[in-house]
Amino acid sequence: MMKPIMRVENLGKKYSLGAREVIAPTLREALVRFVKNTAERFSRGRDTDAQTVWALSGVTFEVYPGEVVGVIGRNGAGKSTLLKILSRITKPTMGLADLYGRTGSLLEVGTGFHPDLTGRENIHLNGAILGMKREEISRKFDEIVAFAEVDRFLDTPVKRYSTGMYLRLAFAVAAHLDPEILLLDEVLTVGDALFQKKCFAKMKEVGREGKTVLFVSHNTASVQHLCGRALYLRNGVLSEEGKPDAVIASYLKDLSESESAGLAC
């Protein structure tokens, strides 16, 4: 029997609506509220959670080694929350997830880039933040620079880079990350058409190397292009799972339905 490399069971995340109202902004508020809440709890017995929202609930799926799985859904469907939980940035409210491999996550291009540091310095810093070893960064340095096509500006602070150059450099570092499981959030939409093509090629290569990829995107074309399987999240619930074509079709159907519903209003 084949074992999954990622097992997600009944995963859920509850957020407080208007965090500022639930989490006291100041220490004094917190004390006042603590007293008030305790008193209320005594009088009402249980606190209600009308003020909360489930960004993700009861999500269950498995991913097998070497799979490239796409996660699609509208804004606020819980895609990013799912990735944040899997990359351990935030904790789930319920459920569990087990990862049987080294995990790298890429929730944003250029995390930790510092505008005052040069391209060279940022490659090292960003690599370390993404979880690369120092030796690994040095080894891949030339490759990264070549990929990003910024060799002439290596010793220029990145605040003087054009947006395109900045994104290319950031993607280049990330693309050379070498984990067994890669969690990606909408990162392929950087740079011009030519660079995007290069990114796609790189992503395909990652897939061919047998890495497991969970890839979140609005872009149905890229999911179709890269993924062997797709998950469709709707309102925090996993509503469909299967071949990308079928899943994307029902996603698009939902989209056009809500669009026409919106127009009817």
Contacts of other proteins in 101-160 (CB under 8 A): 101-103, 105, 107-108, 111-112, 114, 116-117, 121, 124-125, 128-131, 133-134
Which CB, 93 or 219, lies closer to other proteins? 93
Least separation, in Å, of the C-beta of 248 and other proteins?
A: 13
Return all residues near 225 (Cβ < 8 A) that are at least 6 apart. Answer: 200
Q: Which range binds other proteins by CB under 8 A, 36-44, 50-58, 165-173, 198-206?
A: 50-58
Please give the DSSP secondary-structure letter assigned to residue 40. H
Can you tell me the distance from the alpha carbon of 243 to that of 230, in angstroms, rounded to the nearest whole number?
6
Name the residue among 249, 254, 182, 216 with its Cα closest to residue 71.
Answer: 216
Site string for other proteins, 168-197 (x = CB under 8 A): ------------------------------
Residues ≥6 apart with Cβ < 8 Å to 69 = 63, 212, 213, 214, 215, 227, 228, 229, 230, 231
Maximum distance among all Cα pairs of the chain, rounded to whole angstroms: 69
**x-marked contacts with other proteins along 231-250 as a string, rule CB under 8 A:** ----xxxxxxxx---x----
From 63-71, 148-156, 164-172, 216-224, span contacting other proteins (CB under 8 A): 63-71
Using CB under 8 A as the binding criterion, the count of chain residues that bind other proteins stands at 81
